[in-house]
Structure 1
Amino acid sequence: MPQSEAVRIAARYLATADRLLPGKIVGCYLIGSAALGAWRAGRSDVDFIAVLDGDRGERELRRLRMLHIAGNLRTAGRALLRADPSIPGTMNGAFAAAEDMNKPVTRIRPLAAHSGRTFKRGAGFDVNPVMWKVLLEGGIPVRGDSPDRLGLDPEPGRLRDWNLDQLRGHWQDWARRCVTDPPRDKPLIPAHRQALARVLGPPRLHHTIATGGVIAKETAAEYAMDTFDARWHPMLRAALAQRTGEPGPEFPEPGRLPRLAGEFTLEVIAAAARLAQ
């Protein structure tokens, strides 16, 4: 099972965490693609929520920052040997206090989070209604009680509005930049690959707004092809092939992909707004 490799990566990460923060991390749960049954070795990151107990002062926050680097050294080294700038298998996640886990998710202030090259204190994007729903319904415990025993409150009544806010905020800004001046968030990765990696995100949110369910990006590609105009299908098939690493059609004009991804995302946002009326 592919998820078992994700669990092994998380276990190595926790072994490093226990050396830096002995006894502090009392829970660790895989979310994201692993929890949704879509994790792929050599292609997916490992998304997690970690639960901390005990003192959480300046010393502990410094150790969490060290963990961001030390816990991902092996993964980064392997990616460097393969000359893969996307560094698949990276542990990306948020840390929350044990006493906060039973609060409504929008009232939880994460202790810290790290994703890719970024470490933040007092913030953590994955502490949100979508990921709390994924955690409750399918989170994979690497350490700690089963998620259904944590007293989680994903605030289902906020799920739709939260997704709409994400589309109208972050995703709309990204789409407009794609249309006018394609963003290069990762300089070592070609712009068309970045566009394909991200374009499956908005259909996931549209699906949640329409159905209340949460799907993986691979499923979002199929959903988007069933839901939106056929003119987007070549781009969506290319995005799916890049996601899975399986043979797929080459997009004939890669240079057009950032703009097309932006235009498609704006269409998805408009469609989601109509659903909310």
Structure 2
Amino acid sequence: MITPEEYLSFLDARLPGLVAGAHLHGSRVLGDVVADSDLDIVVELSSPAEVPGFEGADVAVVPAGSLEKPVSAVTPLAGEITPVLWQQLRTVGQTVRGTRPTCPVTAAEVEDYCRGNLVSYWKVDFDRLREVLPSLDPAAPIPRESLLWVGLGPARLWHTIRTGEIVSKSRAGELAAARWPDLPVLDLVASRRGADVPLTVAHAAASLDLFDRILTDVTT
């Protein structure tokens, strides 16, 4: 698993003197690092440049000073930036180079983004799943990585909409399981944490059910 120091050494060797800031978010700062966790990092460059790819690093690149501006006023050089990212950097992000950023963002901006993302991104995927589920054997195995993504991702948005807090995938799964204990969400949490839990089409169906309940919960 790549460390921030290794990644910054890689960048410095290829972009000498350009990396003005680097800030961690995601599993590394939310206490949810698992075997296949990426290094989630925002890099500030003092001059525009193409940042080479690095396996295991999920990188957003912005001009130096961008993290002192509203996210709507920033055009990234690479990767995606969102109000949720700004909120995470502002509250729990870890600065490994440069000055800790202010990342100005409002609670309303964060909530609006989460609500919009549930519909514009997640609902599209779940509607596709809804179409194919009837033709699948509930006992058939299903790819772990894709199921954990769809099974735990919407729960993070649900919790942020309700509380403003940003939590990890595992914690979001625990919170959703406490809210809807009839669904096997804890199987997904256990699998994410490395347990040998067989994941099946039935878990995908439960993830769809969870998504529908989340949508109802945040719209009523």
Q: Does the CA-based 8 Å contact 1:134-1:214 persist in structure 2? A: yes
Provide the residue aligned with 1:18 in structure 2: 12
Structure 1 residues without counterparts, runs of 5 or longer: 1-5, 73-89, 114-123, 183-188
Provide the residue aligned with 1:257 in structure 2: 203
SS of equivalent to 2:3: helix
Provide the residue aligned with 1:130 in structure 2: 84
- Aligned positions of 1:30-179 closer than 5 A: 30-40=24-34, 42-54=35-47, 56=48, 60-61=49-50, 64=51, 67-68=52-53, 71-72=54-55, 90-113=56-79, 124=80, 127-145=81-99, 147=100, 150-179=101-130
- Aligned positions of 1:153-232 closer than 5 A: 153-181=104-132, 190-191=142-143, 193-228=145-180, 230-232=181-183
SS of equivalent to 2:120: helix
Number of residue equivalences: 213
Shift of 1:190: 4.5
Residue by residue, what CA displacement relative to the aligned partner does 1:44-82 show, whole Å, maximum 9, x if unpaired?
11111111112x1xxx22xx1xx20xx33xxxxxxxxxx
Residue by residue, what CA displacement relative to the aligned partner does 1:109-138 show, whole Å, maximum 9, x if unpaired?
11112xxxxxxxxxx1xx211121111111
Q: Quick one: distance in 2 between partners of 1:191 and 1:178?
A: 14
Provide the residue aligned with 2:192 in structure 1: 243
SS of equivalent to 2:182: helix
Q: Does the CA-based 8 Å contact 2:118-2:157 persist in structure 1? A: yes
Q: Quick one: distance in 1 between partners of 2:203 and 2:128?
A: 13
Structure 2 residues without counterparts, runs of 5 or longer: 134-140
Opposite residue 203 of structure 2, the aligned amino acid is: L
SS of equivalent to 2:103: coil
Q: Quick one: distance in 2 between partners of 1:268 and 1:219?
A: 16
Shift of 1:142: 1.8
Q: Quick one: distance in 1 between partners of 2:103 and 2:19?
A: 18
Q: Quick one: distance in 2 between partners of 1:166 and 1:159?
A: 11
Opposite residue 175 of structure 2, the aligned amino acid is: Y
Aligned CA distance change for structure 1 residues 260 and 155 (closer, same or farther; 3 Å): same
Shift of 1:212: 1.1
Q: Does the CA-based 8 Å contact 2:90-2:102 persist in structure 1? A: no
Q: Quick one: distance in 2 between partners of 1:172 and 1:226?
A: 23
Shift of 1:158: 1.0
Residue by residue, what CA displacement relative to the aligned partner does 1:8-29 show, whole Å, maximum 9, x if unpaired?
6221111111121111111111
Shift of 1:214: 0.9
Q: Does the CA-based 8 Å contact 2:23-2:42 persist in structure 1? A: yes
User: Once superposed, what is the RMSD of the aligned Cα atoms?
Assistant: 2.0
SS of equivalent to 1:231: coil
SS of equivalent to 1:112: coil
Q: Could you state the TM-score of these two structures normalised by the residue count of structure 2?
A: 0.88
Does residue 268 (structure 1) correspond to residue 183 (structure 2)? The answer is no
Q: Does the CA-based 8 Å contact 1:177-1:262 persist in structure 2? A: no
SS of equivalent to 2:22: strand
Residue by residue, what CA displacement relative to the aligned partner does 1:204-246 show, whole Å, maximum 9, x if unpaired?
1111111111111111111101212x331x2x12110111113
Aligned CA distance change for structure 1 residues 45 and 131 (closer, same or farther; 3 Å): same
